[in-house]
Structure formats: C-alpha cells, structure tokens
Amino acid sequence: MGNVSCDIAFNDLRFTIQSGKETLQLLQGVSGCCRSGRLTAILGPSGSSKTTLLKFLAGCISGGRQEGTVLINGTAARDTCFKSRLALVWQSDILLPTATVREAILTSALLRLPGTMSRAQKEHRVDQILAELDLTHVKDHLIGQDIDGTMSGISGGERRRVSVGISLVTDALAIFLDEPTTGLDSESAEQLMQLLSRLANNRGKTVVCTIHQPSSDICSLFDDAMLLSGGQMLYNGTWEAAETYMAVAGYGRPLQRSLAEHFLWLAKDRGMAVPNLARLHTLSWRVHSALEEANCLGMENAHILQEIIIEEQQAPKKAKRSAEMASPASVLHVPDMASDTWSSRASSRPSDESSSSSAAPALWEGASDRSGKSESGVKGAGYLQQTCILCARFARSWMRSPVSLAMQALQYMVAAALMGAMYYRLPNDVTAGVYNRVASLWFVGMVVVFMSGNSALTIAYTQKPLLRREVYAGHYSYLPYYVAKTVTTLPLQVAYTTLYVCMTYFLVGYQPVAANFFFYSAIIFLLILISETLGMLCSGAFRAELTGAIVLQALYVPLLMFVGFFQTSTPPCFEWIKRISYATYGYSALVKNEFQGLGLQPGDDGFDVPDAETLIPANIQTTLSLAANAGVLIAILIGLRTILYIQMRLTIATKAL
C-alpha cells in the first residue's frame, strides 16, 4: 500500500461564504497540483486563504458555496474514500494529556487498523512510527498540557510529532498540515520539516503544508511551492524554478531579500504583482491543460496553444506589463520553467477510457470511510471493540488524575459537612422539626444540582475538542464514546453519591430506617445524573464555555425557585415551570420519604403527630407517590440522555473542526 502514489490536481476551486450582508470569495478560481513523493509548501501572507485551500484539498471544508474539481491520479476524488487515505494535522495539537506518547499512537492504531491485524502487528507498526518520528526516547512520557505558560510533559515539537504519528498509523497516502511550525523554536521547526521531507522523498507520500514565514533552512527542504494572495494562485511549481519564474515575469528578487520574503512581498503588492502573477498562472495552467487535451484528442498542440494565446491577447489589458506578460514568447517560456510541476499530472492522465477506469482501484483499493473501515478494505475496530478501547482509555485517564478526583470528592465532603453543621441532629418537635427538615432537604438537593451540573459542563468542554477531532478523523463513532464515558463515570458517580448521602443523612439525622436511606440515596443519584446531563447539553449547545455556564446558571434559577420551598402557592403563570422541573419531583420525593412514618413530639397544642406526612406544605406535594416521583425522574433522565446523544451527533457532524 505504501507504494501507491497520490497525485492531486485541482481546477478552478472557488469557495464563497456569506458574512452578514457581505459575500466573501475566499478562493477565486484556484488551480494547481500536488505531487506524490514531494513536499509542497503553501505560502502567502495572513488572510491569503492558505488554510481554506488546504481544507478544500483535504475534503473537510464545510459551509459556504464550493465549486471546482479535485482529481486524484486523474480520477475524481470520492469524498469518503479520500478522507480515509489522508493524514490531517491541524495547527493546534489536541491530544489527551493523561496518555503517554506510545498510548496515544497505539490507541489510534487499535481503533483504526483492520481487525485482521493482530495486536502484536499493530504494536509493531506503532514502534516503527515512534522510531521514524524520533519519539522512542519519550514513548513512556505523559503528553501533558500547557499550564500557566509551562509545559507539563513533552516538548512542543514532540507534541507536534505525536500528532503526525497518530495520523500515520494507517499509512496514509497524503499528509496535510496546517502551519506545522507554529509555536515551535527554530530547531524544533527545522527538525519537523526534515521529518516531513523524509516522509515525502523516502516513502513517496504527498505532503502539503501551509507555512507563513519559513527560514532559509526550511525553504531548502521544499520540493514544490504554491503562492497565494487574497484567494488567488500566483505560482505553483518547483521551488528551484520559482526565482527564475518571477524574474522572467518581471519581478526579480533583490539581493538583500530571501526568496520566501520576496514571495510574501509580491503577495502583498495588490496593485501590480498580484493581478499580473495570478493572470500569468491562470494562462500557464490553461496552456498545460490544453496540451493534455491535445494529447488525448490527437490534435496538434500548436493549434490549441495558438487559440488560447489569441484569446488571451484579445482580453482587456489593465497595464503595460500585463500586456507584455501576455505575449506568446513570454507565455510559451513559462511552461518550460515549470514543466516539472505539470509533468506528473500529464503522465498520470489516462490515454483512454479503459485506463481511466482501471486507475481507480489502484488508488482506492482498501479505502475507507469514517464508519470504521480501514486499509485493505477491512473494517477497523467494531462498535464493541471501540467501546472497550475507549473504556480503558477513560479508566487510565481517571487513574492518572488523582488531584481532579480528590477535588471533586472534597467539594461533596465540604458541602455535606456544612450541611451537617447547620442542621446537626434535627429536632423532633412539630414547630422546628418540620421547617428544618423541609429546608435541609431543599439545600441537599440544590447542592448536588449545582455541583454536578457545573462539573459536568467544565469536563465536557475540556473533552469536546479531542472528541470532535477523533470522531471526524474516523477513530471511532460517537455511540461507543458515549457508552464508554457513561460506563466509566458511573462508578465515580456512585462513589460521590455514597460519600455525600452518608454524611448528610446521618449528620443531619433523618429517619434511621434502611428503606428510607436507600430511597434517599437513589433520588440524590438521579438528581446528580440529570444535572450532569443538563450541564453536558449546555456544553454541546454553545461553543464558548462562559456562554454555556451562564445559560446553565440561568436554567437553575426557575428550576429550583418553583419547587414549593420559597412560596406557599405557585403563581398560575409559573405553574408550567414547576411541572417540567426535575427538581420539583426530586424535592417532593425527598420530603415525602422523610415525613412518611415520622413521629413528632407534641407542639404548642400538645398533640402528638404519629405521621408527619400530613404536615408537608401543600405547595411541595406533587400528588404523586414515592415510586411515581422516582419514575418521573427516570423518564426525564432517559429523555435528556437521548436528546444529549442526538445533539452531540449533530454538533460533531456540523462543527467537526
């Protein structure tokens, strides 16, 4: 599989988006090619649509209006197949900080490589990648994350190589990288580019990367280059021929300026250089396209070239230099300098229909889509395998985060201790006993609602970027992730619930009856699960964590305000809030569970109260039994979890990157 080439040709790519009332054309008829076995750099100033072109070629651009064609070895790229045969490394490294270097790459291999490969074979491939990327010496180091400006774990250059390694486990044909040297020191940046050059030259990969201001040493590693400005292609050819090309076009490089700096200077000259070079590139592309067409049709090349040149000469000329550049001598000279760029494209073009149809299997044999297929046409890990692999990863992550686990446990302990100190050993007289029980149970429920929801929202926001990247890259589907997360967090939720209910129940002094204790625990557990689900729903609905947190707090206010504790009767206009609030049913169940069968000492009137259920304020009662209240909570939990699954599937599909 590694010997299969992947020559990419693209023609007249256009990408338009709507920004308010303004229409922005990010790509304006861009044409060119990227060849296998070569490192192609996409250069240009900020805002030149380098990343947009990279996304377009990688088939992961979304939104807006897309036009143009992308050919792989002369065959139209099928979106789902092509994505499975490329490696995509974005500017930001989103990795699991609690995983080691080897675990991060091995997890990708276990999820994506075909089931026909044994685990030993997959581990062997991972070890090969580690050696090739010079990561063997740090394979057992935690990746870590940037905390307060310091790196807790491996270095930035090593993190970037881990990202490349994760993408390489399927032996991809094409590798796309967005600003791979960003954030790296000069030495790390050069080492990374040397690695990419080796992948292209030694292993025949098609390597394409965007880069802003490369050093001279990095530029010497380029095989081919593209120059963009304002969504227009100004040059696409070999790096060696670039300086001569610009000189013949009338834009020679001053001695004090490096070639990369000269490229960027030309790309910023919107008055003369940009329109002239864009027009010249378009003409040279049309000339070579005509040459290929002539070869296919058996026509005379000169005849077609003459028609194109005459058509170009008759076009309006905005400047004298533009007219000179359109002359036959100049146009015919450009292909000679850039002929290397187009030679592979011409040679890869099939000579007849039969060869065209036979070219597709060579490229797409073993291609896959995001549903789990991997190389050799065999599926990678199935749903059950994905779930098990992710469960193991979640478990490792929790075990390596003792501080996080301890802090979550501590917040429940502190809240329970404060509750116990405030309502320690509730009195059993009618006057104080009723009020203190009603108040303490409201606080017990309110604390778990706030703490569990806020914690779930924060954790979800930290996990969401990695989830989106991995689901989009085809590592796994969302369903196994959802199941694995639920399964691995359940023991933690049970542990936190047990800790909280034991402290609050016995410190406050509720009824010492086993059945009441276990029902109390079950209701608290359901409130925690529902609140966590609500927090995750807010994290999925909003990109910004601050926005999600604000909305979550805003939801808590009406949900907790109208449970019946703060008023003797609910205003009719707010009755619907009370009916849909899960806190209403949870609070009512907790109160009824405590008051049923509770005997209170005589009050001021001197009468004993053998069953305090009759003293429950009417506005707290839901008229439902204990079991019915619990059933409503279970139904709400199932409904919200279902909505959460659907929401995350939709948001990941539409906002993958």
pLDDT at 339: 39
Residues 350/456, Cβ–Cβ less than 8 Å: no
Under the banding of pLDDT at 50, 70 and 90, the label for residue 550 is very high
Per the domain annotation, does 507 fall within a domain? yes
pLDDT at 651: 80
pLDDT at 147: 52
Regarding whether 203 and 326 lie in a shared domain, the answer is yes
537, pLDDT greater than 90 = yes
- Determine the structural domain holding residue 222 and report its residue range: 8-85+172-364
Least confident residue range of 4-18, 269-283, 377-391, 416-430: 377-391
Cα dist. 489→223, 280, 397, 398, 459 in Å?
Answer: 49, 60, 11, 9, 12
Under the banding of pLDDT at 50, 70 and 90, the label for residue 654 is low
What's 46's domain CATH number? 3.40.50.300
pLDDT at 416: 93
477-490: pLDDT as tens digits: 889 999 999 999 99
Residue 116 has which token pair? 């026909």
Burial code of 625-638, b = ≥16 C-beta within 10 A, e = fewer? Answer: ebeebbebbeebbe
pLDDT at 598: 78
Per the domain annotation, does 179 fall within a domain? yes
Of 364, 389, 417, which closes a domain? Answer: 364
* Distance linking the first and last C-alpha atoms of the chain: 28
282, pLDDT greater than 80 = yes
286, pLDDT greater than 90 = no
545, pLDDT greater than 70 = yes
Residues 476/370, Cβ–Cβ less than 8 Å: no
Residues 237/338, Cβ–Cβ less than 8 Å: yes
Under the banding of pLDDT at 50, 70 and 90, the label for residue 320 is very low
- Averaging pLDDT over each range in 288-292, 425-429, 584-588, which range is the top one? 584-588
Regarding whether 408 and 318 lie in a shared domain, the answer is no
* Sheet containing 65-72, strands listed edge to edge, beginning at the edge strand earlier in sequence: 22-34, 8-19, 65-72, 75-76
For the beta carbon of residue 417, count every other beta carbon within 10 angstroms. 13
503, pLDDT greater than 70 = yes
d(CA 13, CA 252): 29
pLDDT at 101: 94
pLDDT at 31: 92
Region 136-152 average pLDDT: 74
User: If we measure between CA atoms, which residue out of 591, 590, 589, 607 comes closest to residue 599?
Assistant: 607
Under the banding of pLDDT at 50, 70 and 90, the label for residue 418 is very high
Regarding whether 528 and 436 lie in a shared domain, the answer is yes
Per the domain annotation, does 463 fall within a domain? no
Regarding whether 429 and 317 lie in a shared domain, the answer is no
Of 318, 343, 364, which closes a domain? Answer: 364
Residue 52 has which token pair? 């947009």
Task: Give the phi and the psi of residue 24 in degrees, each rounded to 5.
Answer: -110, 125
358, pLDDT greater than 70 = no
Name residues whose C-beta falls within 8 Å of residue 546's C-beta, 6 or more positions apart in sequence: none
Please, what is the average pLDDT of the chain? 81
Residue with tokens 């796994």: 476
Residues 585/622, Cβ–Cβ less than 8 Å: yes
Residue 130 has which token pair? 């580690």
Region 344-371 average pLDDT: 36
628, pLDDT greater than 60 = yes
Per the domain annotation, does 142 fall within a domain? no
Angle at alpha carbon of residue 219, lines to 214 and 221, rounded to 5°: 130
d(CA 650, CA 472): 12
Under the banding of pLDDT at 50, 70 and 90, the label for residue 309 is very low
Share above pLDDT 70 across residues of the chain, in percent, rounded to a whole number:
81
Regarding whether 17 and 65 lie in a shared domain, the answer is yes
Regarding whether 524 and 628 lie in a shared domain, the answer is yes
Regarding whether 292 and 421 lie in a shared domain, the answer is no
pLDDT at 374: 44
Region 70-97 average pLDDT: 77
pLDDT at 84: 66
Q: Is the dihedral of CA 84, 87, 92, 94 positive or negative?
A: positive
Regarding whether 300 and 212 lie in a shared domain, the answer is yes
Regarding whether 407 and 358 lie in a shared domain, the answer is no
Regarding whether 422 and 287 lie in a shared domain, the answer is no
457-468: pLDDT as tens digits: 999 998 888 888
Instruction: Categorise residue 425: left if φ over 0, alpha if ψ from -120 to 50, beta otherwise.
Output: left
d(CA 217, CA 194): 10
Regarding whether 243 and 179 lie in a shared domain, the answer is yes
Q: Is the dihedral of CA 134, 138, 144, 147 positive or negative?
A: negative
317, pLDDT greater than 70 = no
Domain count, the chain: 2
d(CA 548, CA 634): 25
pLDDT at 296: 55
**Chain Cα centroid distance, residue 640:** 23
Per the domain annotation, does 19 fall within a domain? yes
d(CA 432, CA 440): 12
569, pLDDT greater than 80 = no
Of 364, 385, 419, which closes a domain? Answer: 364
Least confident residue range of 172-176, 242-246, 470-474: 470-474
Regarding whether 637 and 554 lie in a shared domain, the answer is yes
pLDDT at 605: 56
Per the domain annotation, does 54 fall within a domain? yes
Cα-Cα-Cα-Cα torsion 43, 49, 50, 51, nearest 10 degrees, comes to 160
d(CA 118, CA 155): 32
- Does 374 or 59 have the greater pLDDT score? 59
617, pLDDT greater than 60 = yes
d(CA 220, CA 215): 9
Cα atoms in the Cβ-side hemisphere of radius 13 Å centred on 455: 23
105, pLDDT greater than 90 = yes
Under the banding of pLDDT at 50, 70 and 90, the label for residue 415 is very high
- Does 118 or 375 have the greater pLDDT score? 118
Per the domain annotation, does 442 fall within a domain? yes
224-241: pLDDT as tens digits: 999 999 999 999 989 998
pLDDT at 81: 59
Per the domain annotation, does 274 fall within a domain? yes
391, pLDDT greater than 90 = yes
51, pLDDT greater than 50 = yes
153-207: pLDDT as tens digits: 888 888 888 998 998 888 888 999 999 888 888 888 898 899 999 989 988 899 9
